[in-house]
């Protein structure tokens, strides 16, 4: 029953994601139709063929596409769209786990300082006179991990990590790192604009290289988190009950916290700080599919991919492109206030 529900919802969301991706790829200064976009995507795939001797081999589609349209879609638009889908998937995935971990629908991926740590690393790389390939994502990723595991070490005592202490330590570290960011911005000089744009969250410097950096991390850790979906369900009952039911509570908490932190770090490192995806999307999906994390984790992640691709399309639809983080905040904040007014935000 759970497997059928997960498959049905996931199939619907994958279909929605494909539609949004194709629609997004048609948008831009140069006109490219939906059929051409679909042909370009299909040509990039491979179909299995079986030879007469039974050996399976693969061959690409060979659909007719204009060379200019193919270049625009594959080199400019698709890297941004695919990266947006990966980042949205990762942030919603981490948000779902964090809300279950803290048993609080107000939790999001940045709650233990991951985003603030990434921001410190990124701004430091922008401001300091250093430069190397993928340096900005590397610094942001390192900063996020240092902040997350720093919070964990601060909150852990005697082998135990109380959730309330972890939350308070995260708030304190975020506040301190916010002060560090503000100081570095004062010293940024000519780099100030670049740093501010990164802090707003953006996807306009997306490349296939960044896709290759983020995709393996997010894909592997999704499998890990999904494997712990049942344990996360049990943790919602409380740590004492979870221990009674055979869950190694502290070990499970460490794995969930570390994995969701790394997922968030991978997303923030390639896109900047994009808010509300990890807060709003899991809550919306919980209202639709229920609190069972075996269904909620994959559906929230896919919905996050759809949401961020759609909002990034809006971000570049006007006469002047705006950072996608502005759009997610502009859409997410009113929607969350609407949920509060309707009393649809409940404790888990």
For the segment(s) 2-32+66-341, the CATH number from 3.30.1330.10, 1.10.3470.10, 3.40.50.300, 1.10.3090.10 is: 1.10.3470.10
Q: Evaluate if residue 54 carries a pLDDT over 80.
A: no
Please tell me the predicted confidence (pLDDT) of residue 235: 85
Tell me if 133 sits within 8 A of 123, measured CB to CB.
no
Q: What are phi and psi of 49, to 5 degrees?
A: -125, 145
Contact 98, 84 (CB under 8 A): no
Q: What's the pLDDT tens digit per position in 76-95?
A: 899 999 999 999 999 999 99
The predicted structure's pLDDT at residue 178: 93
- What is this structure's pTM? 0.90
Residue 113 or residue 50, greater confidence: 113
Express each pLDDT in 268-287 by its tens digit: 999 999 988 998 899 889 98
Reply yes or no on whether the pLDDT at 199 is more than 80.
yes
DSSP for 219-259? HHHHHHHHHTHHHHHHHTT-HHHHHHTT--HHHHHHHHHHH
Q: If we measure between CA atoms, which residue out of 227, 220, 341, 329 comes closest to residue 279?
A: 329
What pLDDT, in 10s, does the model give residues 160-184? 888 888 888 989 999 999 999 999 9
Mean pLDDT of the chain: 87
Confidence at 47, pLDDT banded by 50, 70, 90: low
Nearest CA among 315, 310, 338 for reference residue 325? 315
User: How high is the pLDDT of residue 30?
Assistant: 81
291-331 confidence digits (pLDDT tens): 899 999 999 999 999 999 999 999 988 778 889 999 998 88
Q: What is the pLDDT of residue 21?
A: 95
Read off the pLDDT band of 18 (50, 70, 90).
very high
Q: pLDDT confidence of 11, banded at 50, 70, 90?
A: very high
Report phi then psi at 59, rounded to 5.
Answer: -140, 145
User: Distance between CA atoms of 78 and 120, rounded to whole angstroms?
Assistant: 29
Q: Which residue would you say has higher pLDDT here, 62 or 210?
A: 210
> pLDDT confidence of 345, banded at 50, 70, 90?
low
């Amino acid at each position: 029953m759970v497997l059928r529900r997960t498959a049905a919802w996931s199939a619907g969301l994958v279909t929605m994601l494909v539609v949004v991706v194709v629609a997004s790829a048609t948008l831009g200064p140069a006109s490219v139709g939906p059929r051409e976009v679909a042909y370009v995507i299909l040509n990039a795939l491979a179909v299995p063929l079986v030879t007469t001797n039974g050996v399976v081999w693969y061959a690409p589609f060979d659909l007719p596409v204009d060379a200019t349209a193919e270049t625009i879609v594959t080199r400019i638009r698709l890297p941004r769209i695919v990266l947006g889908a990966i980042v949205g998937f990762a942030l919603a995935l981490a948000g779902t786990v964090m809300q279950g971990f803290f048993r609080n629908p107000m939790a999001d991926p940045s709650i233990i300082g991951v985003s603030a740590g990434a921001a410190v690393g990124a701004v430091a790389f922008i401001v300091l006179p250093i430069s190397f390939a993928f340096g900005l994502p590397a610094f942001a990723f390192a900063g996020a991990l240092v902040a997350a595991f720093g919070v964990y070490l601060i909150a852990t005592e005697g082998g135990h990590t109380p959730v309330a202490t972890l939350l308070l330590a995260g708030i304190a570290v975020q506040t301190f790192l916010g002060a560090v960011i503000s100081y570095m911005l004062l010293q940024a000089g000519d780099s100030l604009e670049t740093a501010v744009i990164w802090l707003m969250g953006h996807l306009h410097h997306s490349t296939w290289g960044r896709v290759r950096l983020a995709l393996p991390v997010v894909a592997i850790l999704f499998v890990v988190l999904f494997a712990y979906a049942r344990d996360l369900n049990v943790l919602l009952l409380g740590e004492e009950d979870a221990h009674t039911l055979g869950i190694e509570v502290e070990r499970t908490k460490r794995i969930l916290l570390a994995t969701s932190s790394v997922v968030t770090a991978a997303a923030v490192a390639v896109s900047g700080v994009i808010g509300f995806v990890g807060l709003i999307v899991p809550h919306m999906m919980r209202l639709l599919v229920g609190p069972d994390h075996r269904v909620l984790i994959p559906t929230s992640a896919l919905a996050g991919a759809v949401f961020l691709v759609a909002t990034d399309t809006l971000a570049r639809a006007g006469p002047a492109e705006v950072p996608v983080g502005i759009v997610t905040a502009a859409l997410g904040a009113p929607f969350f206030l609407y949920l509060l007014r309707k009393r649809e935000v409940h404790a888990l």
